[in-house]
Amino acid sequence: MKKMPDDLKKLEERIRELKEKESRVNRDKGESEFMHASKAGLRVGAELLSGVLVGGAIGYFLDGFFDTKPWLLVLFLFFGGGAGVLNVYRFVKKEESRN
């Protein structure tokens, strides 16, 4: 094995110290309002979109299975939208109680 030069050892030690310092600062700082709002907005959009997509997929496959095109697709799109709105409502209520 090659011996590591002293300069590289000092550099690795300095990098390790700076990473520890950065982790302490980030741990103490918390989360900004912008970051929290961004996360909440993305979650709301994902909840609404996923509800509609899952409902549409279920309706599409049931339409193919029962040969009722397009009625179950339309019905389950509405169910999925309702489920998405319900999930958003639950999320908002949880956020309200947190603050």
| pLDDT tens sequence across 50-85 | 999 999 999 999 999 999 999 999 999 999 999 999
Exposed/middle/buried for residue 62 (C-beta within 10 Å: 0-12, 13-18, 19+): middle
- Cβ-proximal residues to 71 (8 Å cutoff; 6+ apart), any chain: 63
**Contact at 8 Å (CB) between 86 and 68?**
no
Parse the chain into domains and list their residue ranges: 1-30, 33-98
Per-residue confidence (pLDDT) for residue 32, from 0 to 100: 82
Q: What pLDDT is recorded for position 22?
A: 86
Give the pLDDT confidence score for residue 94 in this predicted structure: 94
Cα diameter, the chain: 76
Q: What is the pLDDT of residues 10-43, one digit of tens each?
A: 999 999 999 999 888 877 777 788 988 999 999 9
